[in-house]
Structure 1
Amino acid sequence: MNWDDRETIYQQAKGWVLEAGKEIRDNISDPLTVTTKSNPNDLVTTMDSDTEYFFMTRIKETFPDHRIISEEGYGDEVSALDGTVWIIDPIDGTMNFVHQKRNFAISVGIYHDGIGEIGLIYDVMADVLYSAKKGEGAYRNEKGLLPLNKHKHFKEAILSLNHFWLCENRLVNETVMQNLVKTVRGTRTYGSAALEFAAVAEGIMDGYMTMELAPWDIAAGIIIVDEVGGNTMNAFGDSVNLLQKGSVLTCNPAIQENIVEDYIKKGRK
Structure 2
Amino acid sequence: MTNWKQIDTYAKKWIEEAGEKLRCSFEKKLNIETKTNPNDLVTNMDRETEQFFLDKITETFPGHRVLGEEGMGDAVSDLKGIVWIIDPIDGTMNFIHQQRNFAISIGILEDGIGKIGLVYDVVHDELYHAFKGQGAYMNDKEIPKLKEVAVKEAILSLNATWVTENKKLDPSILAPLVRDVRGTRSYGSAALELAFVAAGRLDAYITPRLSPWDFAGGAILIEEAGGEVSDLYGNPLDYIKGGSLFVSKPGLHKEIRENYLKNL
Same fold (TM over 0.5): yes
Query: 173-182 vs 64-73, which deviates more?
Result: 173-182
Q: Which residue of 1 aligns with 2:128?
A: 130
Distance apart, 1:120 and its partner CA: 0.7
Match of 2:245 in 1: 248
Look up the match of 2:231. 234
CA offsets 1:101-122 (integer angstroms, 9 cap, x no match): 0110000110011110011100
Deviation digits for residues 127-159 of structure 1 (CA, Å, limit 9, x no counterpart):
110000000010011000000012x11110110
- Tell me the residue number matched to 2:217: 220
CA deviation after TM superposition for structure 1 residue 260, in Å: 1.6
Structure 1 position 27, deviation (Å): 1.7
Q: Structure 2, unaligned stretches of length 5 or more?
A: none
Alpha-carbon distance in 1 for matches of 2:35, 2:93: 12
Aligned residue pair count? 264
Q: Percent identity?
A: 51
The normalised TM-score by structure 1 is 0.96
Superposed, which structure 2 residues align to 1:53-68 within 5 Å?
Answer: 53-68=51-66
Q: Which moved more, 1:228-237 or 1:256-265?
A: 256-265
Residue 255 of structure 2 is matched in structure 1 by 258
Shift of 1:192: 0.4
Give the Cα–Cα distance (whole angstroms) in 2 for the partners of residues 167 and 236 of structure 1: 21
1:142 and 2:140 aligned:
yes
Letter in 2 for 1:129: L
User: What secondary structure, in the 3-state scheme, does the structure 2 residue paired with 1:17 have?
Assistant: helix
Residue identity matched to 2:129: S
Distance 1:186 1:67 in 2: 40
Q: Indicate yes or no: 2:129 matched with 1:157.
A: no
2:169/2:208 contact within 8 Å kept: no
1:86 maps to 84
Task: From 5, 8, 20, give the equivalent of 1:10.
Answer: 8
- TM-score normalised over the length of structure 2: 0.98
Amino acid at match of 2:238: N
> Which ranges of 4 or more aligned residues in structure 1 deviate by more than 6 Å?
none
Which position in structure 1 is the counterpart of 2:113?
Answer: 115
What is the alpha-carbon distance in structure 1 between the residues aligned to residue 245 and residue 131 of structure 2? 22
CA distances 1:30-63 after superposition (whole Å, capped 9, x unpaired): 1111111111111000000000000001100110
**Which letter maps to 1:53?**
Q
Aligned-residue offset at 1:236: 1.3
Q: Say which SS state the counterpart of residue 244 (structure 1) adopts.
A: coil
Gaps of 5+ in 1: none
